[in-house]
Chain A
Amino acid sequence: MASILLRNRLFFGADAPCTWADLLEQGQAWAGDPTGYADRRVVFVVPDMRHACMAVAYGMAHSLDWGVIEAARLSEAVEERFAENGVHLIEAGSGAVLGRTPLPAQVQPGRVTVLTSGTTGLLKLIAHTHASLNTFDRVTDLPANSWFLPYQIGSYAWYQMVALGMFVADQDLIPGDFSDLAESFKTALSRGLVTAISSTPTFWRHALMSLDEALLASADMRSISMGGEIVDQPILDRLAGLYPSARIKHIYASSEAGAAIVVSDGKAGFDAALLADTDSRTIAIKVEDDRLYIRSPYGNTGDQGGWIDTGDLVETRAGRVYFCGRAGNTMINVGGQKAFPPDIEGHLMAHPEVVWAQVTARRAPMVGNLPVASVVLRTPMDEADAEQMLITHCEGTLAEYAVPRLWDFPKQIPMRASLKS
């Protein structure tokens, strides 16, 4: 397996930096003799981000069959989920076994258990390895960076970033405190540390609303990656304005398919030419019945070799492929006409006064459903005026049936644990 780059650094909160060597040593002292875990599939239960990174160093260094979860996420249902999958929950530090006795399971040294709640909210365990998580292994000459790490412990995106910090030279990490992400981002920016971020559009919208713009702009930002949600043109333009010298890219990845599409031309969607090029690309993509399929070596082992149905709907317009949302819960049928929430949301978010928008369906007589919008405004204003302003913005561009009929104006952007909204 690839060697851990022990000299790469991590910055926790306002603390002095430490290295992976420090964390490995601390993990060793904390978790004890690894032979005790060699015959079990384990997930280490940790109290915070620092201990999570210690567990990662320990699990990777000893090629255990392992994973990590923060203690705050445990519940009876979650423990049951692990037991069903033959996972021993280990309170690292005390070594105590938590939850009920797991079902027998085959141990696979080197397997990493990634946690995802998916779109269903049900915790899923996805099998990866250090190799499938190390999606930066083919990137050559990555400049030195300090990455703010906003993701939840144990998620696919979190492991990917941790793998970057462990296995790619000169890539330092600034792990955020998930219990108060905005504050930890502010601390990291104030320390002048952040030069790169991988996150979601919702994370950025949240930051743009809650942090001082001068502080945000003060960062020497060189690399911005976004994924996890549809990346729309307004957020790309906003970040390009804020960080004119940063390389801004959006990445399409999923826990099941791994990282698959990287777009760095500053435009939403991706070039349709990628669909035709199935031979020279290691990662192949295709569209069938408006659904996106991916074949990727970074996919988890369960799906190795085959095409993975991503469940995402796409549409090709003028040589560009755009994401239209998830199959099954995307389209709103308004009196027999199809309205697509991502299109409506994208148009709303192109308005300079709109920070975030979400469009859903509400059952209605006569036409079956109506689109209704929830919108966070940049500056507070009278709701009736805001509604009129946005209706005017939509009319003439969106079809009449796609113009939202009811409006709600929350003060804050809702953000889930996945940093999505």
Chain B
Amino acid sequence: MIRSDILDLMNMVMKKRGREPLADEGQSTREAGFRSLDFSEVALRIESKVGRELSFEAASMRQIETVKDVLDFFEEAIKG
């Protein structure tokens, strides 16, 4: 699963909730309205796609502020 696939999943979740798509990686997740519930949903959808449970590091999760941080985080988690 590549970075653009993850972004597609994030935007699918945004669209379902009636929100604007994420414009660029520098955008703040807070300003974009990408919330912790959305993050968790994307995580589960990625798990379904890759067919295994991912391990997430709590410390890294707390540092997430931008769309780029989310993409980096999931990329790392998938590499596992």
Chain A positions near chain B (C-beta within 8 angstroms) = 334-335, 362, 364-367, 370, 387-388, 391, 400-401, 405-406
Instruction: Choose among A362, A388, A391, A400 the residue that contacts B37 (Cβ–Cβ < 8 A).
Output: A400
CB distance from B78 to the nearest CB of A (A): 13
* B16–A362 CB distance below 8 A: no
Contact surface of B with A, Cβ cutoff 8 Å: 16-17, 36-37, 39-41, 43-45, 48, 54, 56, 61
Residues in A with CB closer than 8 Å to B56 are: 365-366
Residue of A nearest to B61 (CB): A366
A401 / chain B contacts, CB cutoff of 8 Å: 37
Across the interface, do B61 and A406 meet the contact criterion of CB distance under 8 Å?
A: no
Among all A-B residue pairs, the 3 with the closest Cβ atoms: A364-B40, A365-B56, A405-B41
* Distance (whole angstroms) from the CB of B34 to the closest CB of chain A: 12
**Cα–Cα distance between A245 and B63 once the two chains are bound (Å):** 63
Contact between A365 and B43 (Cβ–Cβ < 8 Å)?
A: yes
Q: What is the bound-complex CA distance between A405 and B12, given in angstroms?
A: 12
A374 to B36 alpha-carbon distance, docked (Å): 23
Closest Cβ of chain B to A368, distance in Å, is 8
Say yes or no: B45 contacts A406, CB within 8 Å: yes
Are B45 and A366 neighbours in the complex by a CB distance under 8 Å?
A: no
Contact status A367-B40, CB under 8 Å: yes
Q: Which of B40, B48, B61 has the most CB of A within 10 A?
A: B40
B39 with A405: CB separation less than 8 A:
no
Interface of B is mostly: helix
Query: What is the minimal beta-carbon distance from A124 to any residue of chain B, in angstroms?
Result: 34
With a cutoff of 8 Å between Cβ atoms, the chain A residues found around residue B44 in the complex are 362, 364, 370, 405-406
Q: How far is the CB of A405 from chain B (nearest CB, A)?
A: 4
Between-chain CB contacts (< 8 Å), 13 pairs? A364-B40, A365-B39, A365-B54, A366-B40, A367-B40, A370-B37, A388-B16, A391-B16, A391-B17, A405-B37, A405-B40, A406-B41, A406-B48
User: What is the bound-complex CA distance between A367 and B43, given in angstroms?
Assistant: 11
In the bound complex, CA of A406 to CA of B40 (Å): 11
C-alpha spacing A270/B54, complex, angstroms:
45
Residues of A within 8 A of B39 (CB): 365-366
A365-B16 contact given A335-B36, A370-B40, CB 8 Å threshold: no
Q: Hey, which chain B residues are within 8 Å of A362, CB to CB?
A: 44
Measured in the bound complex, the distance between the Cα atoms of B47 and A364 in whole Å is 10
Q: Chain A residues near B16: list those with CB within 8 A.
A: 387-388, 391
Residues from chain B with a CB closer than 8 A to the CB of A335 are: 36-37
- Given the known interface contacts A388-B16, A391-B16, the answer about A365 and B40 at a Cβ–Cβ threshold of 8 Å is yes
A272 to B41, CA, bound (A): 39
Given A365-B54, A367-B36, A400-B37, list of 19 further CB < 8 A pairs? A335-B37, A362-B44, A364-B43, A365-B39, A365-B40, A365-B43, A366-B36, A366-B39, A366-B56, A366-B61, A367-B40, A370-B41, A370-B44, A387-B16, A391-B17, A405-B37, A405-B41, A405-B44, A406-B41
Residues of B within 8 A of A406 (CB): 41, 44-45, 48
How far in angstroms is the closest Cβ of chain B from A341?
17
CB-based contact A366/B41 at 8 Å: no
Residues of chain B within 8 A (CB-CB) of A334 are: 37
Given that A335-B37, A391-B16, A405-B37 are known contacts, is A365 also in contact with B45, CB under 8 Å in the complex?
A: no
Q: Which residue of A lies closest to B77 (CB)?
A: A365
User: What chain B residues lie within 8 Å of A367 (beta carbons)?
Assistant: 36-37, 40
Contacts of B17 in A (CB 8 A): 391
Report the bound CA distance from A401 to B37 in whole Å.
7
CA distance A362 to B48 in the complex (A): 12
CB distance from B17 to the nearest CB of A (A): 8
In the bound complex, what is the Cα–Cα distance between A14 and B78 (angstroms)? Answer: 60
